[in-house]
Structures are given as structure tokens and as C-alpha cells.
């Protein structure tokens, strides 16, 4: 689905990501875990060419080097950004419409599918999106991304700022999406929750991948336990 080779991301003189390699195969859930500032979000932004980077990224067999963010999204590489970034001044339904901007024919069908998947959003569809709770906003952000019918869905800290019960709901949804055939790249500080649902995981530290492997094995790993799972 996507393979990344020797990726570096720069903010001015600061190198946030220092030459990482990873791969996401079709149908997988892959997690990038690590503490704040490890370079996780920068990696996702780099995949969409929205930050300054060097490295080889191959998405669905194409070199993404010369493509703008919006073109990559149109080709099925979608990001649910950190902090959800829903359009608070638009209604819930208008947010969904924006997700399907280039998808006029399927808009109504997709919208109804989202309302089935997230009934709480349906009840509030004519409200301004900014009036919803954090959990509902996260559901809206995910469904808005799904409106573009992505092949690879990237989620940046979907559990951030949510109550534990809601976090559980969000992760259940992520698993359901995988079961429906969407490949998922997940970035999380909540390493335990991420590892539980992932197939593979990469651990980032100071812009480098320090460990990677099968997610189930990593839950049992002592180093991981100490560093990221609180003992």
C-alpha cells in the first residue's frame, strides 16, 4: 500500500524525522507509537507532502514526490488530523459534504452510510459541528475522511483528549473499518490501546525508529512495557 524509505523531515534547521523506513501492507493496521515530539505527526504530514521532507515514498506503486497534498488525498491517502480539526463553523452535514468534495455521485450514499455507522452524528446533522462533544467531533472527523473513500486512512492521535469509554468506541470503529477493507496507519501516544488493535507497530524516538515488530509481541516486551505502557 505504502512504503517509506529513508524519510527525513525538516522544520528550518531542525530535523524532526531522521531517516526512517516503514511499510504498510493492504488490509493491515499499523501503528507508529512514541512519546510527544518523537516525530510521529511529522511523518504523517510528510506522507501528504505538507511539510518539507526528503526520502522515497511509494503509494500504490506511485512515487508521491511531485504531488500536492490535495491530489494525494484525491488518490486515496487520507488523514484525520491531530485535534480533529473539524470545521466548527459548518454544520455536521456540511463537514461530511466537504469530505466528499470530489465525490459528488456517491455523496448521498456515503453520507447515509456514515449516519448508520455513527448514529450520534445523524441526530446532530444540522447543528454547527463546533457544538458537539469531543468524542462526537472525533467520530465526525473520521467519517469526514471516509467520505473521500480513502484506501489508506491515517489517524493522528485519535484518542487525544477523549474519555476512556469514548477511546474504546473509537478503537472499535477503527477495527471495523479495517474489517471493511480500509488499510490503517495509526499514530498514538496511547501505546497500549494502539498495540492491542494493530498488526504491526513501529516505535519512534527522537525521529528514529528504535523498534518494530508484530504488535501482539510488543505488548509483552519488557522494554516497551517500561517505557510506554507504564510498567
Q: Which residues bind another protein (CB under 8 A)?
A: 48, 50, 68-71, 73-74, 78-79, 81, 83, 85, 87-90, 94, 97-99, 101-102, 104, 144-145, 148
- Cβ proximity to another protein: between 20 and 73 the closer is 73
Q: State the minimum distance, in angstroms, from the CB of residue 96 to another protein.
A: 10
Q: From the CB of 145, what's the least distance to another protein, in Å?
A: 8
Indicate the residue among 125 and 225 with the shorter CB distance to another protein: 125
The cell numbers describing 44, all together, are: 504523517
Residue 85 vs 109, nearer CB to another protein: 85
Q: Which of 180, 189, 184, 197 is nearest to 154 (CA)?
A: 184
Least Å distance, CB 74 to another protein, is 4
CA distance 56 to 54: 7
CA distance 191 to 124: 32
Whose Cβ is closer to another protein: residue 69's or residue 206's? Answer: 69
Of 229, 191, 197, the closest CA to residue 216 belongs to: 197
User: Measured from the CB of residue 124, what is the shortest distance to another protein in angstroms?
Assistant: 17
Cβ proximity to another protein, 119 vs 161, nearer residue: 161
Nearest distance, CB of residue 86 and another protein, angstroms: 8
Strand locations in 52-151, DSSP E?
Answer: 52-59, 62-63, 77-80
Strand partners, 148: none
**Nearer Cβ to another protein, position 95 or 190?**
95
* 8-state DSSP, 100: T
Q: Which residues pair with 97 in a beta bridge?
A: none
Using alpha carbons, select from 69, 73, 124 the residue that is nearest to residue 103: 73
Smallest distance, another protein to C-beta of residue 69, A: 4
Backbone φ and ψ for 80, nearest 5 degrees, come out as -95, 105
Amino acid at each position: 500500500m505504502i512504503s517509506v524509505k529513508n524519510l527525513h523531515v525538516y522544520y528550518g534547521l531542525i530535523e524532526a524525522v531522521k531517516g526512517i523506513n516503514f511499510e504498510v501492507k493492504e488490509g493491515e493496521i499499523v501503528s507508529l507509537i512514541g512519546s510527544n515530539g518523537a516525530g510521529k505527526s511529522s511523518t504523517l504530514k510528510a506522507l501528504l507532502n505538507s511539510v518539507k521532507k526528503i526520502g522515497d515514498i511509494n503509494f500504490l506503486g506511485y512515487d508521491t514526490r511531485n504531488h500536492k497534498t490535495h491530489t494525494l488525498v484525491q488518490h486515496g491517502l487520507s488523514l484525520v488530523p491531530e485535534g480533529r480539526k473539524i470545521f466548527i463553523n459548518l454544520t455536521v452535514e456540511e463537514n461530511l459534504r466537504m469530505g466528499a468534495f470530489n465525490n459528488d455521485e456517491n455523496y448521498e450514499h456515503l453520507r447515509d452510510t456514515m449516519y448508520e455507522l455513527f448514529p450520534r452524528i445523524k441526530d446532530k446533522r444540522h447543528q454547527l459541528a463546533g457544538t458537539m462533544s469531543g468524542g462526537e467531533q472525533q467520530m465526525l472527523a473520521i467519517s469526514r475522511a471516509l467520505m473521500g473513500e480513502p484506501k489508506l486512512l491515517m489517524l493522528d492521535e485519535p484518542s487525544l483528549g477523549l474519555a476512556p469509554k469514548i477511546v474504546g468506541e473509537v478503537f472499535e470503529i477503527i477495527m471495523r473499518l479495517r474489517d471493511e477493507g480500509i488499510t490503517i496507519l495509526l499514530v498514538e501516544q496511547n501505546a497500549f490501546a494502539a498495540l492491542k488493535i494493530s498488526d504491526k507497530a513501529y516505535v519512534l524516538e527522537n525521529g528514529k525508529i528504535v523498534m518494530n515488530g508484530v504488535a501482539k509481541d510488543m505488548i509483552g516486551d519488557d522494554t516497551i512495557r517500561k517505557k510506554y505502557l507504564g510498567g
